[in-house]
Amino acid sequence: MNSAQDKRQTTEDHHDQEVSVVLSGCPEEDARTVFDALRAAFTTDRSSSDVPHEAEGSRPTAWAATVDVSEARVISGSVTLGAPVTVDVQGGYRAVDRLREGLADAFAVRVVGTVSGDQEEEVRLRLENK
């Protein structure tokens, strides 16, 4: 391969390791707990100072992050949620599996819905206390 192909392949491989994560319909404390667990297990685009806050008004609030699952770390022990949290994740099949496995160190994780595509899938996960 030439350098342009190498660069394109590296970019494609990195993109295959990213998962979009969206939380909604949960208290901001539980959203923070989930994002803290994601940061402990993976690299994300949300810093620890980027704390979820409820938006004012009658519309539901959604919080989003992009997670790089290429280098997973083990979360030491479970964490506590105030109530079960529904998380929508989207990415390549292997990347979504890695994310789910990483979250399983901290939560009881159950798949409650999937939409499969050609190269990506969207999965709805239910996170509960272990």
Nearest 10 degrees: Cα torsion 20, 101, 15, 88: -20
4 pLDDT band, cuts 50/70/90, is very low
Q: What is the pTM of this model?
A: 0.81
Mean pLDDT across the stretch 103-111?
95
Question: Angle 46-70-13 (CA atoms, 0-180°, nearest 5)?
Answer: 110
More confident residue, 17 or 46: 17
CA separation for the pair 88, 24 (Å, rounded): 9
- Alpha carbon distance, N-terminus to C-terminus of the chain: 47
Q: What is the pLDDT of residues 108-124, one digit of tens each?
A: 999 999 999 989 999 99
CA separation for the pair 93, 91 (Å, rounded): 6
Using a 10 angstrom Cβ sphere, with 0-12 exposed, 13-18 middle and 19 or more buried, the burial of residue 40 is middle
Which one, of 27, 124, 31, 130, lies nearest residue 75 by Cα?
130
Question: Does the pLDDT of residue 57 top 90, yes or no?
Answer: no
CA separation for the pair 65, 120 (Å, rounded): 17
Which one, of 69, 67, 85, lies nearest residue 28 by Cα?
85
CA separation for the pair 6, 103 (Å, rounded): 32
